[in-house]
Chains A and B, each alone.
Chain A
Amino acid sequence: MASEPKVYVVEDDEAVRDSLMIMLRAADYPVEGFSSADDFLAQWSEQCRGCLVLDIRMPGMDGMTLQKELNHRQSLLPIIFVTGHGDVPLAVEAMKEGAVDFIQKPYAERTLLQKIDQAMGIDAEQQQVLQELQSIKERLATLTDREREVMQMMVEGKANKVIAIDLDISQRTVEIHRARVMQKMGTHSLAHLVRMVLAADQGSALA
């Protein structure tokens, strides 16, 4: 479902935008350009992958405001701010708001490409984590209520005997549930299961 990762460029200055897009294409990056924050927001979706190269100063909605709006929409797209001379205090504030990096105009191609690679790397990692979380959630959804109860106690480190007494079922039945849980969650290790459950709890706390 996720769309192809690309570099989204939001820059009001036509020449800077055009040249940057040509440069990125020459370096074999998929690119899409926007001349205003509004244009970008209009086509933004959770599916956007890659990174955003964002001019901090623009007429109309500026870069910082777009960042806040994207944060509000819970976008995970990493942002690299492009700043002018003397915008460092703004850039610092943008970093506090979660931007991954900033770069001052005029910049060296290599520096910008490194930052883009890094940002795209962060996005890919985030995607992987999200996908794992998604698959964990999907697996958890296949468990029956009883299996979920048994799993919770397993994760708390309780022995089969204790679980059997607590749930007032036979130890044999516990063993069957336990095997099902491991099978449905696709693992053989209790440690792995614990990690998955924790991740799912944290992931849903984040959402």
Chain B
Amino acid sequence: MAAHLPDLRSPDWQQQQILLVDDNAQNLKVLYETLSVMGHKLLVANSGLKALSMLKATSVDLILLDIMMPEMDGFEVCGRLKAHPEWKNIPVIFLSALDDLDAKLKGFEAGAVDYITKPFQSREVIARVATHLRLRHLEWQQALANARQQIEWQREQLAQVARLATLGEMAAGIAHEVNQPLTAILNYTSAAQRLLTKPAPDSSLLGEMLEKLDIQARRAGDVIQRVRTFARQPSGEATALNIADVVRDTVLFAEVDIRRLKGQVVTEVEANLPSIKLDSVQLQQVLLNLIRNALEATAEANGESPVILRVRRMGILLQIMVEDQGSGLRADIADIAEKLFSPFNTSKKDGMGIGLSLCHTLVQGQGGQLTYRPNQPRGCRFVIEFPLVTAT
């Protein structure tokens, strides 16, 4: 796929460059003057070899190539272009006084996109050049769109893999979360069976136990539901979200790590926040990552202070902050901001170091921004900001 990516240096159609190749200086001059009205940047070469060496130095969107040249003729130049991985997609228009069918066919066989016979009409040259540049530009846009899609797809795959990895890390904790209600259920049923063998079973106690059984069964079900929600492939569609709900669900899910690390999470969500269009699975993943990091940093510092998750409106921005009073960033990770959000930086024995980089990409992918600041008096503060433009 990468080989088909367009040259990202020529996004603007006005900035496209045209290379004119002719051994005759007079011809070059006429061509140059003819095309200069189009406003593109024009490069000239008076031999095939010069043309090839210019291509090494700069990117070109179209080549007008004379056929009859000493040393290396136009067919050979074209053959070399087509054999080169980076140059093979540059459209070539042959220029020649040879107005015979064989020469034209040979030109097309060599990979040219068009053929102009000398002496040429200015309007014809301009029209043909404009057409091919436009085609080139469309191709480029198409390729760019494909590449974007590809990147989007890869990002989603990576996010999905990371979600599953997170679930893997949390598996023991999740098992515990299910085990608790199951244990209670088994205890209640054993007790109920025993009570029923007694001469006068206490039916109000039994009724009470049935209610408790119901609550515990639901509790186990809720854990499973949260795992499902977290692991599901996001629709890729942003829906209007109630942030308070997402925050509540995420903190419930983080319960596993809260227990494991003996930490605490406090949420402060401003009332009456407008809903915001985001992908809920991705947002949950980002928040969970930040909360887990914060809990880990707090535990590492043997800290007692809870992790605080604050959500508020700041003008046209929705701000979500995850703050801790933990160990703070290790010096080698803190020194450059880019490093913090690039993958595979980890200070943890079992860390993968993809959490923050993924958070960064996911937030950006949804039109937001993730930044880091030291927290006072110690620890870290990660701030996510989304514009509230599409509030409904």
Q: Which residues of A contact B (CB under 8 A)?
A: 13, 15-16, 18-20, 22-23, 25-27, 57, 59-60, 84-86, 105-109
| Supplied contacts A19-B184, A59-B259, A86-B175, 13 more A-B pairs, CB within 8 Å | A13-B184, A16-B183, A16-B187, A19-B183, A22-B209, A23-B187, A27-B191, A59-B262, A60-B262, A106-B186, A107-B183, A107-B186, A109-B186
Stretch of B18-26, B212-220, B294-302 with 4 or more beta carbons under 8 angstroms from chain A: B212-220
Instruction: List residues of chain A with CB within 8 A of the CB of B195.
Output: 26
Q: Which residues of B contact A (CB under 8 A)?
A: 172, 175-176, 179-188, 190-192, 194-195, 205, 209, 212, 215-216, 219, 259, 262
Instruction: Name 11 A/B residue pairs within 8 A (Cβ), A-sorted.
Output: A15-B180, A15-B184, A18-B184, A18-B212, A19-B216, A23-B191, A26-B192, A26-B195, A84-B175, A106-B179, A106-B185
Report the minimum CB–CB distance from A73 to chain B (whole Å): 24
B262 nearest in chain A by CB position: A59
Report the minimum CB–CB distance from B368 to chain A (whole Å): 34
Would A15 and B175 count as touching, CB distance under 8 A? no
Q: Max chain A CB contacts within 10 Å: which of B180, B182, B216?
A: B180
Would B172 and A15 count as touching, CB distance under 8 A? no
Would A85 and B183 count as touching, CB distance under 8 A? no
**A180 CA / B253 CA spacing, docked (Å):** 75
**A23 CA / B185 CA spacing, docked (Å):** 11
Tell me what chain B mostly uses at the interface: helix, strand, loop, or mixed.
helix
Instruction: List residues of chain B with CB within 8 A of the CB of A26.
Output: 190-192, 194-195
- In the complex where A27-B194, A59-B259, A85-B172 touch, is A22 in contact with B183 (Cβ < 8 A)? no
**A57 CA / B180 CA spacing, docked (Å):** 12
Instruction: List residues of chain B with CB within 8 A of the CB of A107.
Output: 183, 186
- In the complex where A26-B195, A85-B172, A85-B175 touch, is A15 in contact with B190 (Cβ < 8 A)? no
Would B259 and A57 count as touching, CB distance under 8 A? yes
Instruction: List residues of chain B with CB within 8 A of the CB of A86.
Output: 172, 175
Instruction: List residues of chain A with CB within 8 A of the CB of B181.
Output: 15
Would A13 and B180 count as touching, CB distance under 8 A? yes
Would B183 and A106 count as touching, CB distance under 8 A? yes
**A85 CA / B180 CA spacing, docked (Å):** 11
Report the minimum CB–CB distance from B284 to chain A (whole Å): 24
In-complex Cβ contact of B188 among A23, A25, A59, A108 (8 A): A23
Q: Max chain A CB contacts within 10 Å: which of B182, B186, B215, B216?
A: B186
Instruction: List residues of chain A with CB within 8 A of the CB of B176.
Output: 57, 84-85
Report the minimum CB–CB distance from B358 to chain A (whole Å): 27
In-complex Cβ contact of B187 among A20, A57, A59, A84 (8 A): A20
